[in-house]
Structure 1
Amino acid sequence: MKRILITGATGNIGSEVIRFLYKIETKNKIVAAVRNIEKAQKKIKYYPQLDFVQFDFENPEKFERAFKNIDCVFLLRPPQIADVDQYFKPLIVKMKDEGINQIVFLSVQGVEKSPIIPHHKIEKLIQESGLNYIFLRPSYFMQNLTTILLSDIQNKRKIILPAGKAKFNWIDVENIGEASAILLNDFEQYKNQAVEITGYENKNFSEVTVLINQTIEDKIEFVSSNPLRFYNIKKDDGLETGMILVMIMLHFLPRFQKEPIISDLYEKLTGEKPTSLEEFIERENKKFTSFHNQ
């Protein structure tokens, strides 16, 4: 039995990883790495066998205790942390010092061709450390529609992005969580590999807007903005500069790239097809209604 530490345990992906580790009845011990144990225990209350440890990406003093007796780490990058040298370098060093030798890092699809994004540097750091790793590279999250883009959908009835007609591959975070759990549980079979996880649909935001509008009365529209205009809109909305720049990179650069490659990794791991956009939109339908109609 090994001890697996889950960073971002209370977030969308971390919580799904934990859920699926228990769903596949792992024999390993699961430890949730959280900033506030008391709050996390109230939020993640369905797993009495789950351990908790205090952890903060921005506080290296917490690393040693969090990594004590840990064998494997599910590592993700919090959206607000972009300085890899400042935050991730000491993190990887401390993992090695504590004898951790297995990392499943949640990266992004196409990272090998995008040295500008933080995930590229983090992958390189992990490889240079000599630690065994699995790089899980997912495509575009369906859940972006119900998180970072939701305020505009509910309040402005718009999806505003500098994405133009760029095609994105859409993956459900639940599928990522399930795949991550399998990789963590069966690490040796996939170690030192970079694998992509995608859905089976490449669609642009105009096409996704049409799908959403088929399920709601108060229609929405997609507005493609140039990067500067988008920056000013989001700045007026109160979004942090770092987050705005990440959104621009995520949505503007694909306009100059080929369509995403489709991977069958999820089906290979689970025997099931990944969630379709239609299924996801149907599942989350109520969130897309106007804020004033809720």
Structure 2
Amino acid sequence: MSVRLRNDAIYPTGDEATLTASLVLSAAAEPTQSAMSKPVVFVIGATGSVGSATVKTLSAKYADKVEIRTGVRNPKKAGELKSLAGVTVVKAEMGSTELETTLRGVNTLFIVTPGVENRAELAIATATSAKKAGVKYLVVVSVLTADNLDTIFGRQLHKLETEVKALGVAYTILRLPFFVDNAWAFKDTIKGAGAMYNPVDPTKPLSPVVVADVGNAAAAVLADSATHANKTYIIISDRHTYGDMAAAFGEALGKTVTYNRVTYDDAKKAFMGMGFPEWQVHGIMELFKLMDAGDPVISTTDVGDYQKITGETPTSLKTWVAQVKAGFE
């Protein structure tokens, strides 16, 4: 059985996951006079899937409007980011005591919440340093279930949202669900056996988001943060079932793709076997069970926030599958 989620800050995964400047600055570097002519947007957690997608969109669409800085733990490993037009790579670590210096001169900070157990504390420390540095706007990744305190992820991110709002700095919260891109977990079994394995009822709807859509929405907010101050958005791309996903892959690949429901115990063992920490596996199982229970937050149909922010239609499941089908053949 192959079951794997990719998640950048959350269910998001937090696996938070994979995916991502022409100049590397030291933490104490001051912006040049030319850079000061544009507002500075800083993305911390820039080498994960959400951070990377956001920086790519900022570079492609808004480099003439904002100065783009990306914070990474090891700038030497940020080759993809360095290749993007208008992007500057900066050494920065979530929760570091040096951030107050690093973030001086920054107008808007995007905190791509990490996928570690103390992520709320790290993100809160980062937001606090940003306030001390004079950052005017905070954009923070949260989860769709942040109001559900009966869940691990909900408790973590509810705490983060509460603390960010209490700082007295203008903010935007981006609540994200599962990623459609987590379907890459099924690549080997779809290619080899025409099969998907998961514990969720294939008839129960969920409302995930395509990572590229997250980057598109986040970049739009960062480029015009004042318009979105003190707002909380839910970013989803489409509403479908896992049965719909199997059918979409079957149609795109021209073969039968079956969905095979496994037990929660087997799913948990599979995740643990792939190295996921136990706390995160429990959180993922909680979300799967909410899907099975038909939780309305998990299966929302409202894509209005994405359209409001970007002026675009989000990526449908069939469109995403068509874009990636070569990797599943």
Give the TM-score, by structure 1 length. 0.86
Mapped partners of 1:56, 1:163: distance in 2 = 36
Q: Relative to 1, partners in 2 of residues 1:158 and 1:120: Cα closer, same or farther, differing over 3 Å?
A: farther
Per-residue CA deviation, residues 119-157 of structure 1 (Å, 9 max, x unaligned), is: 2221111012222111122343211112x4545545665
Mapped partners of 2:260, 2:210: distance in 1 = 23
Q: Superposed, which structure 2 residues align to 1:65-80 within 5 Å?
A: 65-79=101-115
Mapped partners of 2:188, 2:83: distance in 1 = 29
Mapped partners of 1:278, 1:20: distance in 2 = 22
Q: Superposed, which structure 2 residues align to 1:262-273 within 5 Å?
A: 262-273=302-313
Structure 1 residue identity aligned to 2:129: K
The structure 1 segments of at least 4 consecutive aligned residues displaced by more than 6 Å after TM superposition are none
Mapped partners of 2:84, 2:163: distance in 1 = 33
User: 1:239 is paired with a residue of what secondary structure?
Assistant: coil
Structure 1 residue identity aligned to 2:133: E
Q: Relative to 1, partners in 2 of residues 1:101 and 1:151: Cα closer, same or farther, differing over 3 Å?
A: farther
Mapped partners of 1:238, 1:18: distance in 2 = 28
2:86 maps to 49
On the 8 A contact 2:46/2:112 being kept in 1, the answer is no
Identity of aligned residues (%): 20
Q: Does 1:260 align with 2:300?
A: yes
Q: Relative to 1, partners in 2 of residues 1:161 and 1:66: Cα closer, same or farther, differing over 3 Å?
A: farther
Structure 2 residue identity aligned to 1:222: Y
C-alpha displacement at 1:227, in angstroms?
Answer: 2.5
Per-residue CA deviation, residues 159-179 of structure 1 (Å, 9 max, x unaligned), is: 333322331113222122111
Q: 1:32 aligns with which of 66, 70, 79?
A: 70
Q: Relative to 1, partners in 2 of residues 1:109 and 1:35: Cα closer, same or farther, differing over 3 Å?
A: same
Structure 1: runs of 5+ lacking an equivalent: 290-294
| RMSD of Structure 2 on Structure 1 (CA) | 2.4
User: 1:70 is paired with a residue of what secondary structure?
Assistant: coil
On the 8 A contact 1:33/1:66 being kept in 2, the answer is no
2:280 maps to 243
Mapped partners of 1:44, 1:69: distance in 2 = 21
Structure 2: runs of 5+ lacking an equivalent: 1-37
Q: 2:258 aligns with which of 207, 221, 226?
A: 221
Mapped partners of 1:88, 1:189: distance in 2 = 23
Give the TM-score, by structure 2 length. 0.77
Mapped partners of 1:151, 1:260: distance in 2 = 30
On the 8 A contact 1:161/1:251 being kept in 2, the answer is no
C-alpha displacement at 1:107, in angstroms?
Answer: 1.8
Mapped partners of 1:12, 1:114: distance in 2 = 26
Structure 1 residue identity aligned to 2:44: T
